[in-house]
Amino acid sequence: MQATFNASASIIGLSDTQPKKVDRPRRGRPSKQSINVDTKELLIRSGLEHLTEYGFTASGIDAVLKRAGVPKGSFYYYFSSKEAFGKELIASYDTFFANKLDIHLLDERYPPLERLQRYVLDAQKTMKKFNFKRGCLIGNLGQEVDSLPESYRNILVDVFLGWQQRVEVCLSLAQERGQISTNADCSQLAEYFWIGWEGAVSRAKLTKSLEPLKCFFTHFMLGLSFQNKSYGD
């Protein structure tokens, strides 16, 4: 499963996909040196925009194509099915998102817990930027997993595990520095973080407000302090 990193990374870096045919390859076999991933990347990007907003079931191929300015016939040249398309979107999103987490959680300029907070602030900024229309692709698909191909289930679980491990590492660092008690289970805490955070993102989409994100994170951090004070030796 090769993620098309450029396409996915662009979802937050750039403005919305415009339905322009400019710069897309012309009909016919292209020259050998011209790298023509443009159309495929455009479809992935458009797909990410749609699916983070509407989920899988409610997102039609036609809408994805229209947004990208790509004709329908091209779709099944690049992807064997909507299911396969979705898997590439997941991989792409995961690559982009895990990278984003790493950028924040491995940033040694800040203490571990502040890194987590910086990620949270980043996410808040992003949600606001898109007027709370775009949520988390993995959260969306997780919610509707029973309407999806069964093969998606394990993929989604694994993606969450990857994110969870990153947070766990960050929390363990905080633990080493004595900011969380040595008795606390950082793996459990990281799971707890993602469970609640996804709930918060969903609620933020619903209420079109940052408040749920702030509410969750505030109390999550308070909970961490408790782990520290009550279990510390």
Partner DNA sequence: TATTTAATAGACGATCGGTCTATAATAATT
Partner DNA sequence: AATTATTATAGACCGATCGTCTATTAAATA
Q: Which residues bind a copy of itself (CB under 8 A)?
A: 53-55, 57-58, 133, 135, 139-140, 142-147, 153, 156-157, 160, 188-189, 191-192, 194-200, 202-203, 205-207, 212, 215-216, 219, 222-223, 225-227, 229-230
Q: Which does 227 bind (CB under 5 to 8 A by kind): DNA, a copy of itself, none?
A: a copy of itself
The gap between the terminal CA atoms of the chain, to the nearest Å, is: 46
Positions in the binding site for DNA (CB under 7 A) = 24-32, 36, 39, 59-63, 70-78, 80-83
- Nearer to DNA by Cβ, of 71 and 199: the residue is 71
Closest by CA to 70, choosing from 21, 5, 6, is 21
Q: Which does 5 bind (CB under 5 to 8 A by kind): DNA, a copy of itself, none?
A: none
Rg of the Cα trace of the chain? 20
Q: Which does 144 bind (CB under 5 to 8 A by kind): a copy of itself, DNA, none?
A: a copy of itself
- Nearer to DNA by Cβ, of 68 and 190: the residue is 68
State in angstroms the smallest separation of the CB of 62 from DNA.
Answer: 4
- Decide if 140 contacts 56 (C-beta within 8 A): yes
Q: How far apart are CA 139 and CA 199, in angstroms?
A: 8
Q: Which does 83 bind (CB under 5 to 8 A by kind): a copy of itself, DNA, none?
A: DNA
**Where would I find the H helices in 16-150?**
38-54, 61-68, 72-78, 82-105, 112-129, 137-143
- Decide if 45 contacts 68 (C-beta within 8 A): yes
- Decide if 183 contacts 231 (C-beta within 8 A): yes
- Nearer to a copy of itself by Cβ, of 61 and 215: the residue is 215
